[in-house]
Amino acid sequence: MDGPFTGEKAGTPCEKAAGAADGPAFASTGPKGHRQRMRQRVLKRGADSLADYEILEMLLFPGVPRRDTKPQAKALINHFGSLAAVLEAPAESLKKQGVGPLSTRLLTLMPAVADSMAKPEEQVRVVLGSWDALLQYCDVHYARLPAGQMRVLFLDSRNQLLADEQVPDEAETSASQPAASKAQTAKAMEEALRSAVAFLLQRVLAVNASAVITIRLTPVTLEPDRQMAADTPFVQMLLKEAPLFAVDVHDHLVLKKGEWRSFRLVGQEW
């Protein structure tokens, strides 16, 4: 008779009825109860709470559904010397020690799983190697950003995006001096431009970029063409300084609600 108690007596009808009414006397005993307790233990305390033989015991559960796996787990560790040695053992060696086909496949898979988890995850980078890819990126990422700011995309030699950051507002200094003379305003503007370009090139070195694309999010009150004219001094200075840092300036875009302008496509500065 199958079951944990193969030699039990049949019992009288009254005894059977009483047993059915009261339920199992020891519901947590046997392989099923033991496995449930171990699972609850892992959920509450984590796998670190298990001894090596208990970890192996649980790995044997799927291949041995109705039998206590603790004796086999201990026997395997005694034979091979450690849990790690059991998991690294060839399939044939495991089979010789009485490990079934399903358990053998599972145990021999563990080293590959461990190696995979130990490898650093490769970051999937956005590739901006075409106009369609660039404009789609802008549509997705800039739709809700405040208008007026300038963004810079830092790219590697394969046009993979390394970083997307805001460039400090080069007009902030001049705007903070409303009573300044034209000469003072021009000087302040130039200093602000130099500061913005310097920031951008410092970040180029920090992220090890090979190229950049700058993007202006045009304010509602300004037309794209006028924004291009306003950004020309910045673009000129960036094109002048970038070669000193061995970085390519792919383009400067002006965006406004689905409209866009490209300095490179209209022939300015390039």
| pLDDT in 10s for each residue of the chain, 270 residues | 343 323 334 444 444 444 444 443 333 344 557 778 877 876 777 767 788 888 888 888 888 877 888 899 899 999 999 989 999 999 999 999 999 988 888 888 888 887 777 766 666 789 999 999 999 999 999 988 999 999 999 999 999 999 999 988 754 434 344 445 666 677 888 888 889 899 999 999 999 999 999 999 999 899 999 999 999 999 999 999 999 999 999 999 999 988 899 998 886 556
- Looking at the fold, whether 114 and 212 belong to one and the same domain comes out as no
pLDDT at residue 53, rounded to an integer? 86
- Looking at the fold, whether 176 and 102 belong to one and the same domain comes out as no
- Looking at the fold, whether 52 and 163 belong to one and the same domain comes out as no
**Cβ–Cβ contacts within 10 Å for residue 156, how many?**
15
- Looking at the fold, whether 166 and 83 belong to one and the same domain comes out as no
Of 62, 87, 118, the residue that ends a domain is 118
pLDDT at residue 51, rounded to an integer? 86
pLDDT at residue 235, rounded to an integer? 93
pLDDT at residue 114, rounded to an integer? 78
CA atoms within 13 Å, Cβ hemisphere of 196: 27
CA dihedral 217, 223, 224, 227 (to 10 degrees): -70
Contact 143, 112 (CB under 8 A): no
- Looking at the fold, whether 146 and 47 belong to one and the same domain comes out as no
Q: Which domain holds residue 105?
A: 28-118
Please give the order of strands across the beta sheet that includes 150-155.
161-167, 150-155, 211-217, 248-256, 259-262
- Looking at the fold, whether 76 and 185 belong to one and the same domain comes out as no
Q: What is the 3-state secondary structure (H, E, C) of 186-252?
A: HHHHHHHHHHHHHHHHHHHHHHCCCEEEEEEECCCCCCHHHHHHHHHHHHHHHHHHHHHHCCEEEEE
Residue 71, domain member (yes or no):
yes
- Torsion-angle region of 161 (φ positive above 0: left; ψ -120 to 50: alpha; else: beta): beta
- Looking at the fold, whether 43 and 165 belong to one and the same domain comes out as no
Strand 211-217 to strand 150-155: parallel, antiparallel, or no bridges (unpaired)?
antiparallel
Rounded Cα–Cα distance for residues 16 and 167 (Å): 82
Residue 236, domain member (yes or no):
yes
Tokens of 111: 């080293």
- Looking at the fold, whether 66 and 162 belong to one and the same domain comes out as no
Residue 66, domain member (yes or no):
yes
Q: Which residue has the tokens 């037309």?
A: 223
- Looking at the fold, whether 97 and 191 belong to one and the same domain comes out as no
CA dihedral 156, 159, 160, 161 (to 10 degrees): 80
Of 55, 90, 118, the residue that ends a domain is 118
- Domain harbouring 140, CATH code: 3.40.140.10
Which residue(s) pair with 255 in the sheet?
217, 260
Residue 88, domain member (yes or no):
yes
- Looking at the fold, whether 87 and 200 belong to one and the same domain comes out as no
State how many domains the chain has: 2
- Looking at the fold, whether 114 and 142 belong to one and the same domain comes out as no
Residue 43, domain member (yes or no):
yes
pLDDT at residue 266, rounded to an integer? 80
Residue 83, domain member (yes or no):
yes
Residue 50, domain member (yes or no):
yes
- Looking at the fold, whether 181 and 242 belong to one and the same domain comes out as yes
Tokens of 240: 């002048």
Residue 106, domain member (yes or no):
yes
Instruction: Work out whether the CA dihedral 24, 26, 29, 32 comes out positive or negative.
Output: positive
Total number of residues shown for the chain: 270
- Torsion-angle region of 173 (φ positive above 0: left; ψ -120 to 50: alpha; else: beta): alpha
Strand 161-167 to strand 211-217: parallel, antiparallel, or no bridges (unpaired)?
unpaired
